[in-house]
Amino acid sequence: DADVTQTPRNRITKTGKRIMLECSQTKGHDRMYWYRQDPGLGLRLIYYSFDVKDINKGEISDGYSVSRQAQAKFSLSLESAIPNQTALYFCATSDRERDDREQFFGPGTRLTVL
């Protein structure tokens, strides 16, 4: 089955460390997204990319950077992790040809920054 995968699934790191979360998809979708989910705050968009050369900031991009290495791969980096970046991170994809009607989410990465 075409899928969205994320690695790692769980990560514990320390303040100040640089970490990378990776997302891969086999759906053939051109659009990819990174969200974080926090209790009481819901899903918030960090970055989105409509193709390899089109990357845009979302509502909470400070402290994060991204790389779209290929149509199928979209990575999120925390340059210097801080405790308030502890959250559940989701990658998602959508299909422009279907009017982005649905976003398909990966299984999530639970990140803890100590």
Partner 1 sequence: QKEVEQNSGPLSVPEGAIASLNCTYSDRGSQSFFWYRQYSGKSPELIMFIYSNGDKEDGRFTAQLNKASQYVSLLIRDSQPSDSATYLCAVRTPGGYQKVTFGIGTKLQVIP
Residues lying near partner 1 in the complex (CB under 8 A): 40-45, 48, 50, 56, 90, 100-103, 105-108
What DSSP letter does each residue of 81-114 carry, written as one string? Answer: --GGG-EEEEEEEE-GGGTT---EE---EEEEE-
**Least CB distance to partner 1 at residue 64 (A):** 17
Cα separation of 65 and 93, whole Å?
A: 18
CB of 102 to partner 1, least distance (A): 4
Rounded least distance, CB 18 to partner 1, Å: 25
Residue 20 vs 88, nearer CB to partner 1: 88
